Structures are given as C-alpha cells and as structure tokens.
Amino acid sequence: MSTPDDALERLLEGNKRFVSGSSVHPNRCEETRRNLESAQRPYAVILSCSDSRVPVEIIFDVGFGEVFVVRTAGHTLSQDVMGSIEYAVQELGVQLVMILGHNNCGAVKSAVKTYSDEDSRGAGNVQAILDHIYPAVKKTCSCCEAGSKDFIDKAVKENVRYQVSELIKKDRYIAALLKFNQIKVVGAYYDIAASTIELLD
C-alpha cells in the first residue's frame, strides 16, 4: 500500500525527469485512457496557480489519472476550492495535498502593489482573489523590506504557507486525517526558469 511520502516522491522524481530533459510522458496511451473511463484513482491533489507557465502535468511528468489538479490565480483557497480538495481526498482516496506557488506570480504582484494603496483596489472578482493574498503580503512586509529585489518571491512563498495553514485550519476533514498521519499536506515553490520544485517548511 502506498503512503503519502510515496506519492510525494513520485511527484519529485517526475520533476527531476522534467528538469533533466528525460521526461517519459507516462500513462498517456489509448489503453490508459480506456482503463480510466469508468473511474479515477489519482495519488495527489495539487492546488496550483492558473498561470500558463506552470502546466502541472508537464512539470511533474505525469499522465492521465495520476493527479487531481485545482487551479486558481495565486493558488488561493475558497470554499469551492477546499471542497474540490476534500472531494479528491474523501472520494478518490488521495493521500497527498500539495499547494504550489511559483516565482514572478502576477496575482501576488498585484496584491503587493495594492496592499498599501487602498485607492488602487478594485471592487470586482479579481479583488476577491487579492484579499486572500493580503495576509501573506502583510507577513512578508514584517520581515522583508518592501521593494527589495526578492520581495515578490518571498511573498509568493509566504502565500503558499498561508494557504496551507488556512486549509488545515478551515477544513475539519483534512485536519482530522492529518492528525492520524493518513494524509500529507505540503507547500511547494516552482522556479519557472530552472523548472525545479522546492518544498517549503
């Protein structure tokens, strides 16, 4: 029987293949598609940013039926997103939850830009996304000088950590499984140029 750590190792090994240019493009044949027609059994659920530069299945070198992917701008949580994650864990038996951010994230950039200038904030749906990121920006401001070269990427990493903590705090089902080590929830950071994955504490 596989474990949450096994699932994480599979993802990281897939990323290593992608980085080295030796992707094997698994589980993409017609036979796999036919076998998955009636049911799916992914081993991980990944909440990733919607950014077109972060194609989850490619950077982890996975195929059909392996990962359950949820994408939002800024990898932010909402009730619908938490419901999707919970569905993957509860109904599909997923043992690993990963929240994945990336460098140079546009949503985080917008949150940083408007955080200290309320007059620049909008009233539409984009603002609702930024509201979910502001707590991470606030914490980054407390430990790093705004405008510094690496401020955005530090804010991205802090946002990943914040979304992880929010998921554990607000989803009782996920929290209960974590308590008994039945699942693993991790935060990760993708470097677009290097194509590498960094696990975050």
Residue 167 to residue 128: CA distance in whole angstroms: 17
Token digits of residue 39: 């049911």
- Which CATH architecture is the domain 4-200 placed in? 3-Layer(aba) Sandwich (3.40)
Q: Residue 70: which of 88, 94, 52 has the closest Cα? A: 88
What are the backbone dihedrals phi and psi of residue 189, each rounded to the nearest 5 degrees, phi first? -135, 130
- Give the start-to-end residue ranges of the domains of the chain: 4-200
Tens-of-pLDDT digits for all 201 residues of the chain? 589 999 999 999 999 999 999 999 988 778 888 887 888 999 999 999 999 999 999 999 999 999 999 999 999 999 999 999 999 999 999 999 999 999 999 999 999 989 877 767 776 889 999 999 999 999 998 877 766 779 999 999 999 999 999 999 999 999 999 999 999 999 999 999 999 999 998
Residue 94 to residue 4: CA distance in whole angstroms: 9
> Taking a C-beta distance cutoff of 8 angstroms, is the pair 86, 177 a contact?
no
Specify the long-range contacts of residues 174-177, CB closer than 8 Å, at least 24 apart. Answer: 174/85, 174/86, 174/89, 174/97, 177/89
pTM of the predicted model as reported, rounded to 2 decimal places: 0.93
Q: Which amino acid is at 162?
A: Y
Residue 82 to residue 169: CA distance in whole angstroms: 11
How many C-beta atoms surround the C-beta of residue 134 within 10 A? Answer: 16
